[in-house]
Amino acid sequence: MSPGATVALERAVREDGPRVLATLIRHLGGDFPLAEDALQDAYAAALTAWPRDGVPAVPAAWLTTAARRRAIDRLRHARALDARVRTLETLARRDPGDTPDPIDMDESSALADDRLRLLFACCHPALALSSRTALTVKSLGGLTTAQTARAFLVSDAAMYQRLVRAKRKIAAAGIPYRVPPDELLPERLAGVRLVLYLVFTEGHTASEGEALTRPDLCVEAIRLCRLLARLMPDDAETLGLLALVLLTDARRAARTGAGGAAIDLEHQDRRRWDAERIAEGRAALTRAGRLRRPGAYQLKAAIAEAHARAPSWEATDWHRIGALYAELHRREPTPVVAVNLAVAAGLADAPATGLRLLDALRREPALDDYTPLHAARAELLVRAGDLRAADGAYERAIASSANAVQRADLSARRERLHRGSSDTRPEEETPPR
Amino acid sequence: MLHALLVYGDPSAAPDYESPEGQAEFQHWMQYTEELTKSGLLSRGEALQPHQTATTVRVRAGETLLTDGPFAETKEVLGGFYLVEVPDVDAALEWAAKMPNIHYGSVEVRPVVSFE
């Protein structure tokens, strides 16, 4: 096979595969497995046809047409001469050879809708969350089962089972391929955003050596967020999510130092932040703001943006960040947000202000053993100059942590305290895991 | 497609039938069933006698074994079911969420096998 055709096919698999799959699923009345098989057949056909006849002008159109023909063969073979065959045969009669079908290839309408329908089906709340993330990445990211398995650090067999079970449930339970009706849309769209955000955090929190060989889930999540934002351009929180993942991802290169050690926000080399990502994130956040429908993703993105704007940790606008956390806490009163709010208040005003807020939180029994709370307390106490109390707070933080890496990090900070250096760092305002 | 809405609940959490709350819930069930009937989706619906009336049957090594009570010793027991003919799972989930005991019980939504 000529290298040109190989490259073109690899590209088509990756970039056109998901939308062709989405369209096929619609033409096949929601038969996900048949659509996948037919598409695989079309790839196989391309392997011989493209080097011989040349790469088609619109590979997606060629693949759609070829896959539809293969689906007819498969259905005939299965002697399932039902309505689906008639639909396909009608479409096949209209297929003008290998030239693109103008209706199918119009990105702005039919095809875009197909992908949106597929996205809502893959993110349906009747599926287990782990199936939703995997199925979304595989079907809309155009990954193979093996690549998806590696991305989520499970065995090929386990991922295969997970995907098969999910697809079987979609078919058997009648999970619809559609953009949900208005009364369901806000809830379901929130579910889609959550899945995309989980895909991103899955990639963002993985700092293991394997990360180098894993298909990059952060990049995949950003692509999917861009897609959703393009398909739902008037949804402020989707734009907020896109802004959040871009602004968070912008710091990626600066997050790990030599030997893969994590570097917190305060000590990151800000010159290594990705200016292009920041600009794109900021633009998305601005567009979201114009829609005047504030929400949690937009607030988190605005906090990330405030950090992105600051030339240094010291020159950070903590008043603004504190105000954003206060608003976020009103919507999402979680412990992580409460602790970050206290730290921001302590840095904006005086450590004592933050410590008062943390002490109020400590009175809640559920938070008595909450590591971030004790870690934040220790650091504000260092700022306040109360080293003895800070040492005690570190001890509590270390004792309450179940994570070895975190314990080592806290111990190192405690050591520095004894050597007389000080630093203060809140939890990075990225995702609750 | 045909879906079964299997209605589960902890009988001790349900209001006493004779109490005003129990009477209100009974009315609510009647209304719910009527609404479902009017929607044209209801294929069949039945309430089951209390779980104490159940007998579980097994045949092991050729011997028929009978046990008093339901199959599993759980707090939530099957109390009844509706079979609904719906276009997709969303419609079934919507009807399940409207079930009168949904705030203390639960509904398992299951597609019914079609042998065609």
Q: Domains of chain B (ranges plus CATH)?
A: 2-111 (3.30.70.1060)
Of B86, B89, B110, the CB nearest to A175: B89
Q: Which one-letter DSSP state was computed for residue A257?
A: -
Chain B interface test: which of A117, A123, A175, A185 (most B C-beta within 10 Å):
A175
Tokens in use for A2?
Answer: 């000529």
Given this model, what pLDDT does residue A212 score? Answer: 43
User: Residue B73: pLDDT above 90?
Assistant: no
Using beta carbons and an 8 Å cutoff, which residues of B are at the interface with A?
1, 3, 86-90, 92-93, 109-111
**Region A377-396 average pLDDT:** 94
- Going by pLDDT thresholds of 50, 70 and 90, the confidence category of residue A412 is confident
In degrees and rounded to multiples of 5, residue A213 shows phi and psi of -100, -5
* CATH T-level topology, domain A317-433: 1.25.40
Q: For B87, name the nearest residue in chain A, comparing CA atoms only.
A: A174
> Which of A140-154, B47-61, B81-95 comes out lowest in average pLDDT?
A140-154
- Going by pLDDT thresholds of 50, 70 and 90, the confidence category of residue A203 is confident
Give the contacts of A72 (CB within 8 A, at least 6 positions apart).
A85, A88, A89, A92
Query: Cβ of A176 and B88 within 8 Å?
Result: yes
Q: Which residues of A touch B87 (CB under 8 A)?
A: 174, 176
* Partners of B64 in beta bridges: B59
User: Residue A208: pLDDT above 70?
Assistant: no
- Within A78-128, residue ranges assigned H as helices are 83-94, 110-122
Q: Of the spans A64-73, A257-266, A283-292, which averages the highest pLDDT?
A: A283-292
Given this model, what pLDDT does residue A119 score? Answer: 93
ipTM above 0.90, yes or no: no
User: Residue A83: pLDDT above 80?
Assistant: no
**Region A18-44 average pLDDT:** 91
**Region A242-269 average pLDDT:** 87
Given this model, what pLDDT does residue A417 score? Answer: 83
Given this model, what pLDDT does residue A365 score? Answer: 85
Provide the shortest C-alpha distance from residue A84 to chain B (in Å). Answer: 16
A91 three-class SS: helix
Q: Which residues of A touch B88 (CB under 8 A)?
A: 174-176
HSE toward the beta carbon, residue A378, CA cutoff 13 A: 27
Q: A213 versus A173: which is more confidently predicted?
A: A173
- Of residues B104, B107, B82, B106, the one with CA closest to residue B12: B104
Of A124, A174, A180, the CB nearest to B111: A174
Q: Which one-letter DSSP state was computed for residue A379?
A: H
- Going by pLDDT thresholds of 50, 70 and 90, the confidence category of residue A75 is confident
Q: What is the pTM of this model?
A: 0.79
Give Cα separations from A394 to A10, A24, A382, B60 (angstroms): 52, 57, 10, 61
Of B90, B93, B111, the CB nearest to A172: B111
Given this model, what pLDDT does residue A202 score? Answer: 80
